[in-house]
Amino acid sequence: MRSPRRFRLSLAGQFLVLQLSVLLVVLAFASVISVRQSDAEFRDDRGTTLRAAAQQLANLEPIRSSLASGDIFESLNGYLATTQSRSPSTYVALADAQGEVVLSLDSDDVGGRMDLAGSDVQQMRMWTGDVSVDGKRSIAAQVPVVVIPKTKGEPQPPRLVGIVMVSEPYPTLGDRVERWLPDLARFLGIGLAVGLLGSWLLSRLIKRRTRGLEPTEIAALADQREAVLHSIREGVVAVSDEGRVTVISDSARELLELPPVREGVRLGDLDLEPHVRDALLATDDVHDQVLVVAGRVMVLNRNRVLDGGRQVGTVTTLRDRTELLAMQSELSARESITETLRAQTHEFNNQLHTISGLLQLEEYAEVSTLIGSLTRKRAEISESVTSRVDDPAVAALLIAKTSLAAERNVSITLVEGSALPRLDPDLSADVGTVLGNLVDNAVDATAAAGGTHIDVHLFLDGELVVVQVADTGPGVADTEEIFRRGYSTKPSDASGRGVGLALVQVVCERRGGAVSVHNDAGAVFTARLPMGPHQ
């Protein structure tokens, strides 16, 4: 049984709840402040009125004389009633000098204690403040009733004979709410309407910026993005239009040999080779561009990121193709051998047909002469190579390439001064890879330009094996970028172009060497490979 789907508030609903919560908090604070302000205003306004009423009572001769003599008459209640009639909520009481209530319109209060906490009225000073009357918090004015004894001798100090208190209770919370309710309802209504409108506008703005996704969907996409970036083997680098790195995967950091990179860092601040930095900062679309990074061959794809038709950055993927290129080189070598065998088979077939025809014509002397000529020619090719190249693998490769080039009417000549000893098997394989790719490119360029020959120079320069191949083709237009960008003047096919020279550079750099090219009646490639151990 499927569990019921939990209800989730939309983005607009969440904003509305948030704004209403803020509104209620603000209303609560405003209410507290309003209550305190209302109490202060009530205390100031009513305190002055109550003090005037208490002073008036304290100055009445009947009250002064009654309190001085201690004879309290019921007729004095008329004065209290007159004062209370001006405000029905007013409470009036008389007390003696010790604070005992001696007269009040409420007979139950007579004999009780007047609330004098915090009051200095017994020091014959008028006082206004908060008191408790019948358990209610009230604002009260307490005025001392003072008489001056009449004597014939020295004047006597004034004497406190009683206290007059006129008080009024503070409005209750219900009274205040009843008075504030219209304004409160108006305020809440306006706040709710503004909150609804603001939430709707804000949710539309955010949804437009977030492609209509809810927060939970955005969080899920972020989690999925992190999982994808950590799981794919291809390197991913996203760069904003300001040249800042917004996304870089772990594989990309490993391929580019970078330490952990924080998002938002400028690409120019990273330790990258200039041509790698330029490739990542470029803003055009690129597919299967060959890039050499730290001695490894990368295949780079770059796509623009558009937002409303405006470019906001690029996303670049990097794939390590060093091992694949090595395998491709081996396959090319096998293909070269196959082509050589095919060419030799074709040549041998022609020669056998010629011999067969001469035999049928009984031209035995011509047969002998032809066989001798062919034998000498084959021996001359082998002798010209093996006399200068002692390494059997390199010599065999060069002989095979010579036969294959001859079929395309291109001759390969091992120039005078060439000398190569037997090499370490690992170095021999690298020299063969470099020589095979350079010769293949030279044959293609020479044949396309109508040239006739290629010069190969193999020699040692100290601890370096130097492989130099000079063709009679059109030369190289861009000698700076030909290795880095997999440049090729030939049309692309299914296997791609521009990888052979990149592989030559990788092989040389791995051994601590280098490859260069210059133009001299054609392109002249020079590769230098140290004889030391493979790096």
- pLDDT tens figures, 287-307: 877 777 776 777 888 988 887
Predicted local confidence at residue 324, as pLDDT: 67
Predicted local confidence at residue 532, as pLDDT: 73
Instruction: Compute φ and ψ for 7, nearest 5 degrees.
Output: -75, 135
pTM of the model: 0.47
Highest mean pLDDT among 19-28, 222-231, 382-391: 382-391
| Cβ atoms of 140 and 130 closer than 8 Å | yes
Q: What is the CATH number of domain 45-171?
A: 3.30.450.20
Q: Mean of the pLDDT values across residues 72-95?
A: 81
Q: What CATH topology corresponds to 215-320?
A: Beta-Lactamase (3.30.450)
Report residue 333 as tokens. Answer: 């070598």
342-530 shares the fold of 45-171: no
- pLDDT tens figures, 237-273: 888 888 888 888 888 888 888 888 887 888 888 888 8
Instruction: Compute φ and ψ for 238, nearest 5 degrees.
Output: -105, 130
Q: Mean of the pLDDT values across residues 224-232?
A: 70
C-alpha distances out from residue 229 to 168, 223, 233, 533, Å: 75, 10, 9, 36
| Domain map (residue ranges) of the chain | 45-171, 215-320, 342-530
CA dist 211 and 428 (Å) reads 58
- CATH among 1.10.240.10, 3.30.565.10, 3.40.50.300, 3.30.300.30 for 342-530: 3.30.565.10
